[in-house]
Structure 1
Amino acid sequence: MTMTWLPHYLPEGTVYGVLLNFQRETALWADRMNQDPYKAPPKAPVLYVKTANTFTPSGHDVPLAADVPEVEVGAAVGLIMGEPGQGPVACALFSDLAVPHESYFRPPVKFRCRDGFLGVGRDAIALAAVGGLEGLQKHLLEVRVDGVLRQTVQLGDMVREASVLLADVAEFMTLQRGDVLLLGSDCLADGSRPRAKVGDTVEVSAAGFKPVVTHFVAEEEVTA
């Protein structure tokens, strides 16, 4: 199947993120997974949705309200689906933003789905161009805030590598053409993620992809 993309790629379907899919963060949360209310580690992938109002092309501004002094930045690769049963046919780079919050088990929509809270890479790239699903495992993602390197993410450190994540998600739902499955984002050593505020510019980059660049402005600057 041939897929045609817009000059600047934007998701055509639903975007699903996945929590706790990196070894470091899973280890940091291990003790708390056995506490209330779940009392056990999750057996299936823990997903959340990034709604269409969050989609922001690379190079565009993201407004932050006065009650959001900082955002957390998650560097992620997303798998773009072909027809049902075909699996992923392409991938793209994303900057998954969230309001800092205490729990990752059941994050409220208001933390992850604010306007502009998903920076989208300029191009959708054929999986073959990055070595397929196995080739993705070798990729490094970098997060820079105002040009300063804040994080390096090794996709080989995922709990569920891409093929396993896809298979596990397929156990309970069917991904449709144009849907995107983010592979998750890693945390820093202290369990947090890189943060940005009004006036900052964030760049998420990886070899073979054009960077996702996001500049943060005060909400009143947009509405004035």
Structure 2
Amino acid sequence: MICNGHIYGVILNDSRELARLAPAFQEKPYLAPPVAPVVYMKPASTMSHGTVRLKPGEQAVAAATLALLIARDATGVSPDQAMACIGAAALAIDITYPQADYYRPAVAQRNADTFLVMGDWGSPALADRITTMIDGQAAHNWSLDRLARSPDRLIADISAFLTLRAGDVLLVGLPGDAPQVGAGVTLRAEAAGFAPAVARVEETT
């Protein structure tokens, strides 16, 4: 499978995180919770080749998720049509430096080189439960049942304002309670039926 398009992610698609942040969304500067998917992009340079590089002494959030490879253009599709647009699925670990809030776009914090760890593409199935391992120990697990928008609904809602092209990748959402890691550890995302996403975390030199 070939990813030759854009890489899109979605924040605030974890129902538990949305519930936790609900009071803050009623305050300035938000005044209301988001009504559409909150989409961000990751450039191809964020793709890791087995190593994640962090600034010396820094910690980063390691959010394991599911990546979907779009196989046919999706514009204004319904949820029933959305799954037919998926050609493959893979585990991914989206790395980002912690941010205090979601008001300002976290471009530098989210888009550093090596900040996207990908497993091998497989059949377009949906993971049940994704586990993040740090140095061989389970550090976090979450079920896609926590997604506020299921993958089919997410694709449909995004396609209402943005065409997902064949070759694009969509990360379906991030757990709001993902663990933080520093340099010197090995990350591994696992789920039944999927190839793991694995990387060593090192400091930049």
- Provide TM-score, normalisation by structure 1: 0.83
Q: Once superposed, which parts of structure 1, at least 4 consecutive aligned residues long, lie more than 2 Å away? A: 104-107
Deviation at 1:69, TM superposition (A): 1.2
State the AA in 2 paired with 1:139.
Answer: D
**Quick check: 1:91 aligned with 2:63?**
no
Number of aligned residue pairs: give it. 196
Take 1:153 and 1:23, find their aligned partners in 2: how far apart are those partners? 12
C-alpha distance in 2 between matches for 1:194 and 1:217:
17
Q: Could you tell me how far apart the structure 2 residues matched to 1:18 and 1:34 are?
A: 21
Matched to 2:53, the amino acid is: P
The letter of the residue matching 1:103 is D
Task: Indicate the residue corresponding to 2:138 in structure 1.
Answer: 149
Shift of 1:147: 1.2
What is the CA–CA distance in structure 2 between the aligned matches of 1:101 and 1:157, rounded to whole Å?
22
Q: Where in structure 2 are the equivalents of 1:1-224 lying within 5 Å?
A: 5=1, 11-57=3-49, 60-66=50-56, 69-85=58-74, 87-121=85-119, 123-127=120-124, 130=125, 136=126, 139-188=128-177, 193-220=178-205
Distance, in Å, in 1 between the alignment partners of 2:63 and 2:203 is 21
Alignment gaps of 5+ in structure 1: 131-135
Give SS of 1:167's match.
helix
Does 91-100 or 104-113 show the bigger shift?
104-113
Report if aligned partners of 2:6, 2:43 keep a CA contact under 8 Å in 1. Answer: yes
Alignment RMSD: 1.5
- 1:85-111 deviation per Cα after TM superposition (whole angstroms, max 9, x unaligned): 462121111000000111134432100
Deviation at 1:38, TM superposition (A): 2.4
Amino acid at match of 1:158: L
User: Which segments of 5 or more consecutive residues in structure 2 lack a partner in the other structure?
Assistant: 75-83
Q: Distance in 2 between matches of 1:164 and 1:72?
A: 26
- The answer (yes or no) to whether the contact 2:99–2:106 under 8 Å persists in 1 is no
3-state SS of 1:153 partner: strand
Partner amino acid, structure 2, of 1:172: F
For the 8 Å contact 2:90–2:195, the answer to whether it is kept is no
**Identity %, equivalent residues:** 34
Give the alignment's TM-score, normalised by structure 2.
0.90
